[in-house]
């Protein structure tokens, strides 16, 4: 089972689900979802400038197989321009510039020039 926070009735509380620093109600919702045997929560990304979707897997039941199909190793490089998650094989690089973190006051005040 799954719930989608981008659809009604959950979408009416979008400001809560997308708050950049307060995760309390999101965590409470996840606990309630687990108690109701919900495996997946779909939600709007806070960091994606295009507002794409993320998924939270609450149980292993959401996986199609008990064994990994593919293993990947990721590194996150932090620098003055932002964060760059990087996978060696298969080669994949994501970019999150400083603007992606601007709504989070804990990060917005950081000095990026160190």
Classify each residue of 32-55 as buried b or exposed e, where b means 16 or more C-beta atoms within 10 Å of its C-beta.
ebeeeebbbbebbebeeeeeeeee
Assess contact for 40 and 2: CB atoms under 8 A.
yes
pLDDT tens, 38-80? 999 999 998 887 889 999 999 988 888 888 888 899 999 988 8
Output the average pLDDT for the chain: 88
Could you tell me the pLDDT band of residue 30, with boundaries at 50, 70 and 90? very high
Taking the model in full, what pTM does it have? Answer: 0.73
Every domain of the chain and the residues it spans: 2-62, 74-108
According to DSSP, residue 56 is labeled E
% of residues, the chain, pLDDT over 70: 96
What pLDDT, on the 0 to 100 scale, is given for residue 111?
66
């Amino acid at each position: 089972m799954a719930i989608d926070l981008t659809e009604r009735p959950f979408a009416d509380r979008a400001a809560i689900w997308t708050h950049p620093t307060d995760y309390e109600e999101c965590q409470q919702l996840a606990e309630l979802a687990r108690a109701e045997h919900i495996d997946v929560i779909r939600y709007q990304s806070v960091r994606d400038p295009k507002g794409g979707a993320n998924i939270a897997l609450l149980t292993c039941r959401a996986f199609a197989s008990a064994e990994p199909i593919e293993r990947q190793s990721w590194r996150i490089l932090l620098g003055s321009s932002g964060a760059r998650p990087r996978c060696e094989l298969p080669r994949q690089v994501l970019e999150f510039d400083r603007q992606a973190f601007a709504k989070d006051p804990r990060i917005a005040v950081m000095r990026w020039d160190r």
